[in-house]
Structure 1
Amino acid sequence: MRIRPVTAVATGALMGLSALVLLPGGAQAASHGHPPVVVGHRGAAAYAPENTLASIDTARRLGIAWVENDVQRTKDGKLVVLHDTSLARTTDVKKVFPHRSSWNVGAFTLREIEKLDAGSWFGAKFKGERVPTLQRYLKEVDHNGQRLLMELKNPELYPGVERQALRELDHDGWLDRRHIKHRLIVQSFNADALKKVHRLAPAITTGYLGSPPVADLPKYAKFCDQINPPHTAVTQRYVNAVHALQGPHHYRLDLFTWTVDDGPSTAKYAGLGVDGIISNKPDVVRDTLDDSDD
């Protein structure tokens, strides 16, 4: 399938890191008549430990161009890639730090988190896989030639994380014209966080995770280019309501849905006209869409 450019066009550069404002740009219009963009959920989470470098490398080997991740902040202020607020499910934190009263990401320093095994829980061959910093993750995505749907996870727990994440993106070269135009979307369940991202860097494409009532969609269209609901909330009426609106870059809103892992569901939501499908098995989704084009 052909990956459609759906991100914002940067028409300016950062106006100094103290301000961190991109000059306003326009959004690349979504193409009609093309299959949905396929996004690997947390990399390729069905085949490798989620949100690790192994997971995005697996997605690359599967031929998946877009990957999704989750960004949180450590006790000493470093950005890392992890989904859960707690480290307990996807690392051996309870074994390494058995006497800690909290397993939350924000209770550990980066040095402590770097000691954790983030792969063995998934399978023995991934033993020793680490929780990546956002910086290391961005470099790997860039090295792989992939594109990133970056989620700010629980931003309400990390005051100022929006500005910090944008600084990191800028430092690692992700706020140049090429990346912003074709390779980056920032999403969150937190509308206030997306408003901040849009205010600080208005050229970036933003997506709201969730399914706001149809009557409220115009409010989100003021600061979001996408509405990204769970697949259980996607109906033809909802897709049509999203597509009827223009986002802050004056192009039609897109809709990416999650998490779809089988062929019949892929065909169903593609038939409803969604613009993107986020999947733990992105190869299954891609192959289904390819078969439907035959």
Structure 2
Amino acid sequence: MSWFQRTDKGIKTSTKDKMDAPEGLWYKTPSGSIIHMRELKANAYVCPEDGYHVRIGSKEYFEILFDNNEFKELDASLSSGDPLNFVDSKPYPKRLKKVQEKTKLVDACRTAVGKMNQLEVVVACMDFSFIGGSMGSVVGEKISRAIDHALKHKIPFIMISKSGGARMMEAGYSLMQMAKTSAKLHLLSEAKVPYISYLTDPTTGGVTASYAMLGDFNISEPGALIGFAGPRVIRETIGRDLPEGFQSAEFVLEHGFLDFIVDRRHVKSKLSSLLKMLK
């Protein structure tokens, strides 16, 4: 029997016979372009039709940057405590455990050392899927330790930022990470060890106000949202309308806060060339 029946109203397919594509097989960009996930992964998670950069995490960035995806992870087991006994809808430790189980991550940042086009580098990468990539005490500590490793071995440090800002559940402890990481980066600068800050979508809040904008070179992906406070907060504070796209990477570049924008498909070669030039 045919798998469909033709009626006066057109072709009618029974529900049990419909052929649905498996979840996660295709990806649709905001502009409507559709791409197979296999092709998207092979293209560094950038849609070839419209150049849309899909949000990815540390796992994917490490695959893109490290040669043969070979690296040694640093401080992999470092996990947040609950210094303030924070309780909102649920106790902070319970929320951490739930997010850790869901994301298979320990916290919002991973650090690793490995080779990128045969150049040894230390890479720290934030994961937005872990409580919005929020900067807590563990994020600050892991970044600081990664900088110490780069300083000790005199190898370049690359920071990949993707964050909604400071982690409210750790309050002042979270805000202290801005000063701590900035101080560590000053030591890196004094030792003349290169630091490249790579901003991705979105990079906001205390992360933008600290290590994300302190690179020897500040670079970004196309279309990334970069800013401190959100547009609504800024509009209400200054009492005037804001320019269209004023927090986009392109606008930030135009006003001198970025050195250049790089397509993710070329970031490994660009970073390697830049570090070879500095060397």
- Give the number of the structure whose residues are more often helix, by fraction: 2
Whether the TM-score (by the shorter chain) exceeds 0.5 is no
Query: How does the TM-score come out when normalised to structure 2?
Result: 0.36
Query: How does the TM-score come out when normalised to structure 1?
Result: 0.35
- Give the number of the structure whose residues are more often strand, by fraction: 2
Name which one, 1 or 2, has greater alpha-carbon Rg: 2
